[in-house]
Each structure stands twice: as C-alpha cells, then as structure tokens.
Amino acid sequence: MSHQPVAVVGIGQTHHKKRRGDVSIAGLVREAASRALEDANMDWGDIDAVVLGKAPDLFEGVMKPEMFLADALGANGKPMFRVHTAGSVGGSTGIVGSHLVGAGRHKRVLSVAFEKQSEGNAQFALGGGKGGSIGAGGAFAPFIRAYIRRSGAPEDVGWKVAVKDRQNGAKNPYAHLKLADITIDKVRESPMMWDPLHFLESCPSSDGACAVVFTDEDGGKAASKPPAWVLATAMKSEPSTFAGRDPVSPLGAHMCSAEIYKQVGITNPREQIDCAELYVPFSWYEPMWLEAHDIAAPGDGWRMTADGDTELTGSFPVNMSGGVLSSNPIGASGLLRFAEAALQVRGQAGDHQVPDAKLALAQAYGANAQFFAMWAVGSSLDPLG
C-alpha cells in the first residue's frame, strides 16, 4: 500500500512581533488560521480535523492549550490533535496534518502552530524555572565553535548569514525583524551573547502563528490557487548526549534528508532543489545544515554562504522568508519553514519569491540538535519529471 497525494492549498501566518499586545492567544492562532482558510477559499466548517503544535507549555503557562483553543479553532465535534517534538514541532505539526490526509483519514485538515513568547520567558522555561539558564544559544555555541574549527570557515560567514536573512526578512511583510539597513559591521559590533555568537547572529523572541490547510488529490486539483504537493516527509530523532555522537553534523540530520531525497528521487540536491527553508536560529546553522543535509560536501557549506549562493538571487536560495533569524515564534517556526517552501512552489511568495521554484525543501530541528523534521514540496507531483 502507499499513501495518497496530499496538497497544501491554504497558508496563513500572523504578523510576527516581539509582543502581539493586540490579541489573545486565541486571537493569535485564529489570525493565522483565518488567513489559511481564506487562501484555501474555505470556511471553518470545511475542515475535518485540526492539528496543533507548539513548543513547551511552560512558555505561556497554559498546560495542553489545545484544550482551551479547541473551539477557537473551529474544532467542536472534530478531531483535535496536539504535537510536541521540541524545536522541530512546527515541522511535525505539518507532517502529522499531511499524514491524516495521505492516510485517507480526512479530506481537509488544518495544521496550526504558534508561540506567544511574550506571555512568559523562554530563558526562564529552558532553565527549568531556575537562575543561570544557558538558553538555546548557550547550548548551541559549542557546536558552532566546533564547526568553525572543523570546516576552517572564516569568521564572517556567520555575519553574512545574519545580514542575508534579515535582508530577506525585510521583503517579508509578516517578518518580525525588518532590518533592511543591517550590515556586516553592525553584526560584528553587536554584543557577544554566547561566544562566538553575537546578538545579531541570534534569533529574536516572537509572538506568532502559522497555519496550513491540506487536502487530497481532488482537492488540490480543484483549488482556486496553485497547490503545493507534499512529495516527501521524514522525522528522525537521536539521544541528546553520548560519546561518539556528532552534534555538529548529526547522523539523524543526514538520515532525515536522505530519506526525503530517496522518496522524491533526488540524486543531486544542490542542483535539483530550487530553494530551501532551513531552521537557522543562529547564523552558523546555515552552513552546518547545508552540510548535514548533504546539499554541500563536508567542509563546503560555508563556501556556499560566502559565495552568495544562498542569497535570494543565488543558485541555491536559503531562507527566502528571512528565516528564524527574522521571526521566531518557537513552536510555529518549523511550520513557517514548511509553509514558506510551499509558498515558493505555489509562486505565492511575493517579494521573496524565487523565480520558477518547482521543488523546495523545508527543515526544522529541535532540542540538543537531535530532533529533525523535513518535507519536500513541489509545484507538481513530479517536479523532476
């Protein structure tokens, strides 16, 4: 047996901000969901099931918030599902939603992911409610130091990513940070937060939500706007800490993309994939993921960044939306990557559109760089054909 084709026919997101003081949590998720429904030319009643994803409940201080958000998301009388896979959760939320359609369980599914970081404090939550939290930056900085040494990359690679993603974000009307005038100098001179990471090489803390509507093959073909077809999905996990684990280029990351490439028939990702949205909360993760997903050869990821290949107009654009460096509603950040990849192959990405994108990759990762979620979407079911 094999699953049925799945189409993305609706995408919505909020305007991401440091603090969305104008909405409740319900208002935040409904803003994204309403936009996705409108994009899909659907109403709440057209949806058969809802999948909600978010990062730890300690971020907002509401336990299992899908319970109180059920009716806010029009789920009365419907199945409502809650996913939580750490930082990769937004990706998992998309994958689980697509599987519900692919398995023939439902015809139309709404996946929603959110974080309203301003309600609480992520450093507090990550520190277990105690002082001296090292935060995500403190956890990842050693991996980045190891990558720099391993690859021999010049120190300005991280700064270039920081500038490029913010310039892309400036083209994205929904992005939190719009730093069109950012420069390498400004990044270098920004405070050192988690040595070797500067403040401007780090993601912001955002309020935001993202929503995606999935349908089956008939629904995709009948959609009023071009659909994005879900060509492949994969989720991989590995333990956080043990001798011999490589957190810089995790085996799980390699396996996750290998599975995607196999499903789609990709033999040369660098050439065959038109663009990618990778989860880059700290600048150096761009070259690190390019290598860990075998888009670049080991030690060569930084060259793609340095040569401008990953710019919006480059040969392999990465994070056209501005990425996590421009908007980071944590639980939604993965689904935003997945949604942007879909926007690209639908030709709906506006000022950050990669011309004629037919095959796009999206990735999210979580915890100690140990959870991976990925999908590939295409403008047709056979974009390589």
Partner 1 sequence: MPRSESDIAIVGYAISPMLRRTDQTETMMMLPVVAGAIKSAGLTKDDIGFTVSGSCDYLSGQAFSFVSNVDAYGAWPPINESHVEMDGSFALYEAFVRLLQGDIDTAVAAGVGKNSNSDPSTLYTIEMDPYYLTPLGADPWSLHALQYRALLDSGKATERDVAELVARNRASAKENIHAQVSGDYDVDELLAADYIRTPLRRHDLPPITDGCAAVVLARGQKAYELCERPAWITGIDHRIEPHLPTLRDLTTSVSTTRAAKGAGLAAGPVEVAELHAPFSYQELILAESLGLGADTQINPSGGALAANPVMATGLIRMIEAAKQIIENGKRRTLAHTTSGPCLQQNLVAILEGDE
Partner 2 sequence: MADVVRESVFRLQFPFQRTLGPTIGAFASALAEQTLIGVKVGDRVITPPLEYDPENGADAGTDFVRVGPKGTVTTWTWVPEPTHLHPLAHPFAFAFVLLDGADTPMFHAVNVGSVDDMRIGMRVEPRWRAEREGRIDDLEAFVPATDDGPSDGAGEPWVAPAELSVDHMEMDCDLTYVDNSAPATLIWMQALLDGKLLGQTCPACGRTYVGPRGLCCVDAIELDETHLVEVPDRGVVTNFTIITPTPYPGQTETEPFVRCSILLEGTDAVLNQQTVLEIPASEVRVGLHVECVWAPPEERNVDDVGNRGWGVGGDCMRGWRPTGQPDEPAENYVERMM
**What is the binding site for partner 2 (CB under 8 A)?**
19-27, 30, 43-45, 60-61, 71-76, 116, 118-121, 123-124, 127-135, 137-138, 141-143, 145-146, 149-150, 191-195, 239-248
Minimum distance from CB of 323 to partner 2 (Å)? Answer: 22
Q: Is 61 in the site for partner 1 (CB under 8 A)?
A: yes
Residue 385 interaction partner, one of partner 1, partner 2, none, beta carbon < 5-8 Å per kind? none
DSSP string, 321-333: T-HHHH---HHHH
State the Cα–Cα distance between residues 381 and 263, nearest whole angstrom: 12
Q: Is 242 in the site for partner 1 (CB under 8 A)?
A: yes
Minimum distance from CB of 327 to partner 1 (Å)? Answer: 21
HEC letters along 90-107:
HHHHHHHHHHHHHCCCCC
Retrieve residue 53's tokens. 């994803």
Residue 135 interaction partner, one of partner 2, partner 1, none, beta carbon < 5-8 Å per kind? partner 2
Minimum distance from CB of 18 to partner 1 (Å)? Answer: 20
State the Cα–Cα distance between residues 128 and 134, nearest whole angstrom: 11
Retrieve residue 91's tokens. 């990706």
Residue 1 interaction partner, one of partner 1, partner 2, none, beta carbon < 5-8 Å per kind? partner 1
C-beta closer to partner 1: residue 236 or 358: 236
Query: Scanning the structure block, which residue is given the tokens 């750490």?
Result: 86
Minimum distance from CB of 21 to partner 1 (Å)? Answer: 15
C-beta closer to partner 2: residue 195 or 351: 195
Could you say which of 238, 277, 286, 309 contacts partner 1 (CB under 8 A)? 238
**What are 12's strand-pairing partners?**
211
- Amino acid 148 reads I
How many Å from the N-terminal Cα to the C-terminal Cα in the chain?
A: 23
Kindly identify the residues of this chain, within the stretch 340-369, that bind partner 1 according to CB under 8 A: 367-368
C-beta closer to partner 1: residue 46 or 300: 46
Distances (CA, A) of 114 to 54, 185, 190, 239, 368: 6, 33, 29, 26, 21
C-beta closer to partner 1: residue 140 or 316: 140
HEC letters along 115-181:
EEHHHCCHHHHHCCCCCCCCHHHHHHHHHHHHHHHHHCCCCHHHHHHHHHHHHHHCCCCCCCCCCCC
CA angle 239/241/242 to nearest 5° reads 95
The 106-135 site mask, x for binding partner 1 (CB under 8 A), equals -------------------xx-xx------
> Using CB under 8 A as the criterion, which residues of the chain lie in contact with partner 1 when the complex forms?
1-3, 24-25, 55-71, 75-86, 92, 96, 99-100, 102-105, 125-126, 128-129, 234-240, 242, 245, 250-252, 255-256, 367-368, 370-372
